[in-house]
């Protein structure tokens, strides 16, 4: 769902009269419920995310501060839900193909569910997609294709989109929901307490068939192995779990990673290693023929990936593409050459967006910092191959032959490892041994399924499952 043209409209204007307090501000996983729901829509890749507020707007709106959402205030909220639908539809740009309309009081609706709803719409080419739970009961959220927006905007009173179901029955499809409790809303304090009992996510370790694991900050920091390294690989072998070590770091070749693991007491093969340089070169191979001249910034991993696809690496002009990976020997002259080529019309491809890189003594500039300099100098945004984009994950899944829902993503960065996994519907585990620290979690819009201090703690939790 990259570059999604499916929007989210969060309906959060109601007065919560049955509940007795603003439901929008109920605590959920360490943040207000309205922030949680907005986070789920953003993590699902829906864009834009529009939030319609009304009752208690002065209290509710600050809960969304810092999030990539469009907040609309409905001053007519007391006239009914139709006023929020009309306001939300009016805010959607012309490029939006469809929108998911979701109430603010369904906390179990997560990013995977929203992504499934969007995929179901694409697969069935439907006008309206409605989830169904127990006894074929229709629920929310509901997806409407763009052609229904004018009619949604014309509804009156407290009538929701259900008013169109009967009239357009031939364009409506229902999506079965395996766990109907997901559709439960918070109508009363008792319902809220019942849902709180379910909110602690427990990973289904027994369902896992594969693992996509980051390396820097998870397996090691610099040249220092992190706790649990050997036990992790022993556990995977004993459970017959497939794995791919997928990294945004494009500075080393797969062979160099295999050698590094061997020095740390772990035996593996290059088939288990995938870096962003390989993913970027694979993409370039779909755009250009072998022999195409490419100007490369980066280390051995970048150059090996390009050579393996038959590209000609140049020292400057002429070059049809500029290919940028992390370069410890970066110079002003390299940036200048790349800038002139891009401004002259060369394609711009980057291996990954990581702004920093973890070393033994702290964080240093990563490839994202280099790329930012070139974006500033050229006003051109590159094609980005690495996480959180889907390319690395899709290639890893193909290598293992596993499905997203049965493949665990392990990483140390919320904005790359975890976000990328969530957007492809994979369970995710964050370890706090690299970039992301515990105090960043409450304010982050990215919610991993489980969090561990390090790989050793993850291994202990997994080993306890028979």
Query: Would you state the pLDDT for residue 17?
Result: 76
pLDDT tens digits for 182-238? 999 998 899 898 888 776 556 889 999 999 999 999 999 989 999 999 999 999 999
Say whether both 184 and 210 belong to one domain: no
Distance CA 24, CA 36 (A): 10
| Mean pLDDT calculated for residue range 344-370 | 90
Last residue of a domain, which of 365, 384, 403? Answer: 384
pLDDT of residue 359: 80
The answer to whether position 340 is within a domain reads yes
Among 4-13, 231-240, 333-342, name the one with the lowest average pLDDT.
4-13
pLDDT at 252: 85
Q: Residue 362 sits in which domain range? A: 277-384
Instruction: Identify the domain boundary among 325, 359, 384.
Output: 384
In a domain, 266, yes or no: no
What's the mean pLDDT in 369-374? 97
Strand segments, DSSP code E, in 1-41 are 6-12, 27-28, 31-32
Same domain, yes or no: 185 and 323 = no
Annotated catalytic residue 216: yes
Averaged pLDDT, 69-78: 96
pLDDT at 2 over 50: no
Considering 39, 214, 327, 354, which one is annotated as catalytic? 214
Backbone angles phi, psi at 3, to 5 degrees: 50, 45
Would 118 be classed as within a structural domain?
Answer: yes
Residue 231 and residue 132 in one domain:
no
Q: Is 453 a catalytic residue?
A: no
Please state which of the ranges 162-166, 281-285, 357-361, 386-390 shows the lowest mean pLDDT: 357-361
| Separation CA 26–CA 196 (nearest Å) | 11
> Does 180 lie in the same domain as 66?
yes
- Helix then strand count (H, E) for the chain reads 15, 24
Where are any strands of DSSP class E within 78-166? 98-103, 128-132, 142-145
| pLDDT, tens only, 266-283 | 999 999 999 999 989 989
* Same-domain status, 192 and 221: no
Check residues 90 and 30 and name the one with the higher pLDDT.
90
pTM of the model: 0.77
Share of the chain above pLDDT 70, in %: 98
Query: What is the chain's mean pLDDT, rounded?
Result: 92
Residue 4 is predicted with a pLDDT of: 55
Out of 11-20, 121-130, 285-294, 405-414, pick the least confident. Answer: 11-20
Hey, how many other C-beta atoms are within 10 angstroms of the C-beta on 442?
Answer: 9
Asked if the model's pLDDT at residue 414 lies above 60, the reply is yes
Q: Which of 105, 185, 216, 415 is catalytic?
A: 216
Structurally, the chain folds into a number of domains equal to 3
CA 204 to chain centre: 20
Domain contains 256? no
pLDDT digits (tens, 9 = 90+) for 125-153: 999 999 998 878 899 999 999 999 999 99
Residue 466: is its pLDDT beyond 80? no
Length of the chain: 466
Statement to judge: residues 60 and 180 lie in one domain: yes
Domain stop point among 327, 355, 384? 384
**Contacts (Cβ under 8 Å, ≥6 apart) of 293:** 311, 312, 313, 314, 318, 319, 320, 321
Residues of 204-220 as b/e, b for ≥16 C-beta within 10 angstroms? Answer: ebeebbbbbbbbbbbbb
């Amino acid at each position: 769902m990259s570059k999604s043209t499916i929007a989210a409209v969060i309906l959060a204007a109601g007065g919560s009269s049955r509940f007795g307090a603003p439901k929008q501000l109920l605590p959920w996983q360490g943040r207000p419920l309205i922030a949680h729901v907005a986070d789920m829509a953003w993590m699902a890749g829906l864009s834009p995310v529009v939030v319609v507020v009304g009752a208690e707007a002065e209290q509710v709106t600050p809960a969304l501060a810092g999030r990539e959402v469009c907040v609309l205030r409905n001053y007519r909220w007391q006239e009914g839900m139709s006023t929020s639908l009309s306001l939300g539809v009016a805010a959607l740009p012309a490029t939006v193909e469809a929108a998911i309309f979701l109430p603010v009081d369904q906390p179990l609706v997560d990013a995977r569910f929203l992504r499934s709803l969007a995929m179901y719409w694409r697969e069935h080419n439907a006008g309206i997609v409605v989830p169904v739970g127990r006894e074929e009961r229709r629920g929310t959220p509901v997806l409407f294709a763009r052609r229904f927006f004018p009619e949604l905007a014309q509804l009156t009173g407290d009538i929701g989109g259900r008013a169109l179901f009967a009239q357009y029955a031939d364009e409506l499809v229902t999506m079965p929901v395996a766990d109907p409790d997901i559709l439960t809303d918070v109508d009363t304090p008792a319902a809220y307490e019942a849902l709180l009992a379910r909110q602690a996510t427990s990973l289904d370790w027994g369902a896992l068939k594969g693992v996509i694991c980051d390396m820097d900050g998870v397996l090691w920091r610099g040249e220092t192995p992190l706790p649990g390294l050997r036990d992790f690989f022993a556990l995977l072998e004993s459970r017959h779990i497939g794995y791919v070590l997928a990294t945004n770091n494009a500075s080393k070749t797969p062979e160099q990673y295999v050698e590094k693991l061997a020095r740390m007491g772990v035996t593996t093969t290059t088939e288990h290693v995938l870096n962003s340089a390989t993913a970027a070169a694979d993409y370039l191979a779909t755009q250009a023929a072998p022999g195409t001249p490419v100007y490369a910034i980066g280390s051995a991993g970048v150059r090996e990936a390009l050579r393996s696809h038959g590209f000609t690496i140049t020292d400057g002009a002429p070059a049809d593409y500029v290919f940028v990976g992390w370069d410890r020997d970066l110079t002003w002259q390299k940036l200048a050459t790349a800038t002139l080529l891009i401004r002259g019309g060369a394609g711009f491809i980057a291996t990954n967006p990581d702004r920093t890189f973890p070393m033994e003594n702290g964080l240093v500039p990563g490839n994202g910092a280099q790329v930012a300099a070139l974006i500033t100098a050229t006003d051109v945004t590159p094609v980005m191959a690495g996480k959180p984009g889907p390319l690395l994950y899709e290639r890893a899944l193909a290598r293992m032959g596993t499905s997203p829902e049965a493949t665990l993503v392990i990483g140390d960065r919320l904005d790359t490892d975890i976000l990328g996994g969530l957007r492809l519907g994979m369970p995710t585990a964050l370890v706090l041994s690299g970039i992301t620290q515990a105090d960043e979690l409450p304010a982050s819009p990215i919610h991993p399924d489980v969090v561990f201090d390090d790989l050793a703690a993850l291994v202990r939790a997994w080993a306890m499952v028979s």
